Structure 1
Amino acid sequence: MSSYAEKKYRAVTAFQRRLNSVLRRLPTQTLLETTGRVSGLPRRTPVGGRLVGDSFWLVSEFGERSQYVRNLRADPRVRVRVRGRWHTGTAHVLPDDDPIARLRRLPRFNSLAVRAMGVGTGLLTVRVDLEGRGGM
């Protein structure tokens, strides 16, 4: 990673840590809950994405460097809170999916933020297959 990309990564992650601590508390914010790969504790990350059928799609702006991607690689069982309701599911990292094309199908504001904050070509698509979504 270039020096510029590393500086951008550090600046964006520092900003996101502060912002995410506020966003996690908002009842309407979509959250991805993973299990910490070291601590074993629940880790909640505000995310943007979209429900498509029985799956929730999102794009990680830091790809494999994202802590939640590292966590779900260790344990793909996750929960997603969408519109105030929690759903359990299994996450799948999709390195062969085109994240730029995927962003065009996700909420516009989030997609712009992911592109602006993403470092280099590290974008990575994640699909969460949700269990028992009936009634949503």
Structure 2
Amino acid sequence: MPHRQTYPGRPQLPVGWRRFLARLPVLVFRCGLGWVFGGRLLLLHHTGRVSGLHRRVVLEVVEYEPAGRSWIVASGFGPRAAWYRNLRAEPKTLIEVGNRRHAVTAHVLPPDEGAEIMARYARNRPRTARRLCTFMGFPSDGTDAQFRDAGRAIPFVRLDSAPGAGLP
């Protein structure tokens, strides 16, 4: 597997009230109100690879493929994000989108595929893509080449739903 480029600057995890705000969507999902996010966010359940504890994180859906019932998400904090490392250790998991649960299997995507995904994302959401790149320390003057370079460094994961595996 090709080696990913390294992040130019490691984004800092939020602390204090910013952490509370960042974790607020998890509470929204836990209250059964995930539908307010439409299909833009999903709640990923994962198991700590060291602790074995059940964890949850809300992620932005970068792309959704309705035919194959798969969701693509990105690790904005890089390959050292806990959820990303946990999925690499145990790829079978559960997600919630809206008020529906889906059993999924995670597949880490190669860097060149990540480049294409980031380029498409930038065309669909240019302002958000520029902010994301700035947050992660990448140049963000909006060129397609820069978004592709960022996409090669950002870990992307495809979450594939098993046929008929929608859970109540």
Q: TM-score, normalised by structure 1?
A: 0.76
SS in 1 for 2:79: helix
Change (3 A) 1:97 1:44: farther
| 1:92 and 2:110 aligned | no
Change (3 A) 1:81 1:117: farther
Change (3 A) 1:71 1:5: same
Corresponding residue to 1:21 among 15, 23, 30: 23
| 1:130 and 2:161 aligned | yes
User: Does the CA contact (< 8 Å) of 1:54 and 1:133 recur in 2?
Assistant: no
Alignment partner, residue 118 of structure 1: 136
Q: TM-score, normalised by structure 2?
A: 0.63
Corresponding residue to 1:64 among 60, 79, 84: 79
- Unaligned segments of structure 2, at least 5 residues: 1-5, 35-40, 139-149
After superposition, what is the alpha-carbon deviation per residue over 1:65-118, rounded to whole angstroms, capped at 9, x for unaligned? 111111011111111111221101110111334334313249738953543433
| Structure 1 vs Structure 2 CA RMSD | 3.0
C-alpha distance in 2 between matches for 1:99 and 1:119? 17
C-alpha distance in 1 between matches for 2:60 and 2:127? 6
Q: Show structure 1 runs of 4+ deviating over 4 A.
A: none
C-alpha distance in 2 between matches for 1:110 and 1:134? 35
Change (3 A) 1:35 1:134: closer
Q: Percent identity?
A: 32
How many aligned positions are there?
130
C-alpha distance in 2 between matches for 1:40 and 1:91? 18
Larger Rg: 2
- Unaligned segments of structure 1, at least 5 residues: none
C-alpha distance in 2 between matches for 1:23 and 1:109? 23
